[in-house]
Homo-oligomer: A and B are copies of this chain.
Amino acid sequence: MKFGFVNKDNMSLLTDLYELTMAQVYFEENMNKTAVFDFYTRPDKRRPYLVSAGLEQLLYYLENLRFSEENIDFLKHTGKFSDDFLDYLKEFKFTGNVYAIDEGEIFFPNEPVVQIEAPLIEAQIIETFLINTLQISILVATKALRCYSVAKGTGLVDFGLRRAHGTDAGMKAARSSFIGGFIGTSNVLAGKEFGIPIYGTMAHSFILAFGDEEKAFETFAKYYPDNSIFLVDTFNTIEGVKKAIKVVKKLGLKNFKGVRLDSGDILSLSKETRKLLDEAGLKEAKIFVSGGINEYKIKQLLEAGAPIDAWGVGTELVVSADIPYLDCAYKLVEYNGEPKMKLSSKKITYPGKKQIFRKYETGIIKKDTIALQEENLEGEKLLKLYIKDGKIVKDLPSLEEIREKSIKNLNKLPENIKDINSKEIFLPEISEKLEKMINQIIGKLKGE
């Protein structure tokens, strides 16, 4: 019986078989010149902007990637690999360079979020893990910042661990939602591993185990007098609020935190709850809302005047329910100094080593231009060197700093792109030099 955990020692095998079979051909053929690969997303009207996230996990992987003896033994046992290649893997390390957009930075479709420049074999082998780590992190950070953008200063907490797709997704969801402006998570391990503030209330089972709401509230408050949020919807929400008030009065709680509503007509229930709390002199008590929350419901409820102070956002956040995957790719754009692109489908890739230049007007993003790395256009350079020759060469920001960056970036977005109902596509321009390169390659490929 195995759980099948992924850890530092076996993450090298969390890859598609073809990465290793192709790598073996490259190795045997001495085809290991420098390759450049771009990771980027393709346009999708459901996400006019995206938030970079997951880079730190990728850097960890690249710095620690080794094929342990046990891994090598397994590969040998498959019968697909030569002893020479396995000897090479024994000494394998990532020795390349990594250019990336900062975590918490806004980016747009077609922009390389991460650009890998490394010996071909290394750049190829890391593909699967790179996409696996970045996609879900970007999806959740973006969904979180969309929630933040309409939350009008109300608090947002990640309640999604249970519905995330497995253990790692739960960890990445906590980290990425914090990046996207959430104030914390229910995930205790994310609190331990990433230092994210942890939050919690109580479950319906707690009320049911007592069989009596009043007794359940009273007992809970006995142990958490300054930290109680009573779940009031187990039987009848308004009756539940009344019982909560009764318990607060009875125990003389000075720092009563508030109540959580998890079902029903939240708009009317929250208004009635606020009224009851205020009438009881509990103006400081907060109203927390959970249950099927997403950015659209937050916007709708707050615009309708629902007096809600904080949200537990779960399932729809952590699985990015309306867009559970990104159309994204990791494509070879240069090999041995020669720019490369695929031609067969309508999905054109931009060849060559690149930089993205961002221009602002009165603090608002006006245009991004994808250019060749050698160019020096006006504007802020988005791609920064994070790893050089296999070693991290940039101070990594704290999670709090990344979170602040992402929140500030929201103010740099044009209104029509920031709007959660926007269906606009904001595309980067490409520089003249890059365009010329593309046309040359197309001409050459078609001429063949």
A44 to chain B minimum Cβ distance, whole angstroms, is: 13
Question: Which of A5-13, A247-255, A363-371, A428-436 is the contact stretch?
Answer: A5-13
Given A10-B189, A16-B188, A29-B219, also A163-B325 (CB < 8 A)? yes
Given A209-B335, A234-B342, A319-B324, also A22-B202 (CB < 8 A)? yes
Given contacts A132-B163, A264-B344, 6 further A-B contacts (CB under 8 A): A71-B192, A124-B203, A129-B167, A139-B165, A164-B165, A166-B168
- Contacts A/B (CB < 8 Å), 22 sampled: A3-B57, A3-B60, A4-B175, A5-B5, A6-B189, A10-B193, A15-B189, A20-B200, A21-B202, A22-B202, A74-B192, A80-B224, A124-B205, A135-B165, A136-B166, A204-B342, A209-B335, A209-B340, A211-B340, A235-B344, A264-B344, A321-B325
CB neighbours of A338 from chain B (8 A): 211
**Contact of A59 with B1 in the complex, beta carbons under 8 Å:** yes
One of B7, B15, B169, B236 near A5 (C-beta < 8 A):
B7
Q: For window 194-244 of chain A, which residues contact chain B by CB distance below 8 Å? A: 194, 198-206, 208-211, 219-220, 222-224, 227, 233-237
One of B5, B61, B203, B445 near A22 (C-beta < 8 A):
B203
One of B7, B325, B392 near A7 (C-beta < 8 A):
B7
CB neighbours of A209 from chain B (8 A): 26, 31, 35, 120, 332, 335, 340
| Least CB separation from A13: chain B residue | B189
**Contact of B59 with A16 in the complex, beta carbons under 8 Å:** no
**Contact of B236 with A344 in the complex, beta carbons under 8 Å:** yes
A289 to chain B minimum Cβ distance, whole angstroms, is: 14
**Contact of A171 with B4 in the complex, beta carbons under 8 Å:** yes
**Contact of A263 with B345 in the complex, beta carbons under 8 Å:** yes
Q: For window 167-186 of chain A, which residues contact chain B by CB distance below 8 Å? A: 167-172, 175, 186
The count of identical subunits is: 2
CB neighbours of A71 from chain B (8 A): 192
Given A192-B10, A193-B2, A209-B31, also A162-B16 (CB < 8 A)? yes
Q: For window 1-48 of chain A, which residues contact chain B by CB distance below 8 Å? A: 1-8, 10-11, 13-22, 24-26, 28-29, 31, 35, 37
> How many angstroms between the C-alpha atoms of A210 and B199 in the bound complex?
53
One of B189, B210, B211, B319 near A325 (C-beta < 8 A):
B319
Asked if A131 is at the interface of the complex by the 8 Å CB criterion, the answer is: yes
CB neighbours of A204 from chain B (8 A): 331-332, 342
**Contact of B16 with A187 in the complex, beta carbons under 8 Å:** yes
Asked if A133 is at the interface of the complex by the 8 Å CB criterion, the answer is: yes
Asked if A128 is at the interface of the complex by the 8 Å CB criterion, the answer is: yes
Given A162-B16, A193-B2, also A235-B343 (CB < 8 A)? yes
> How many angstroms between the C-alpha atoms of A236 and B324 in the bound complex?
31
Asked if A56 is at the interface of the complex by the 8 Å CB criterion, the answer is: yes
Given A2-B60, A3-B8, A188-B14, also A133-B166 (CB < 8 A)? yes
CB neighbours of A189 from chain B (8 A): 4, 6, 10-11, 13-15
> How many angstroms between the C-alpha atoms of A21 and B203 in the bound complex?
10
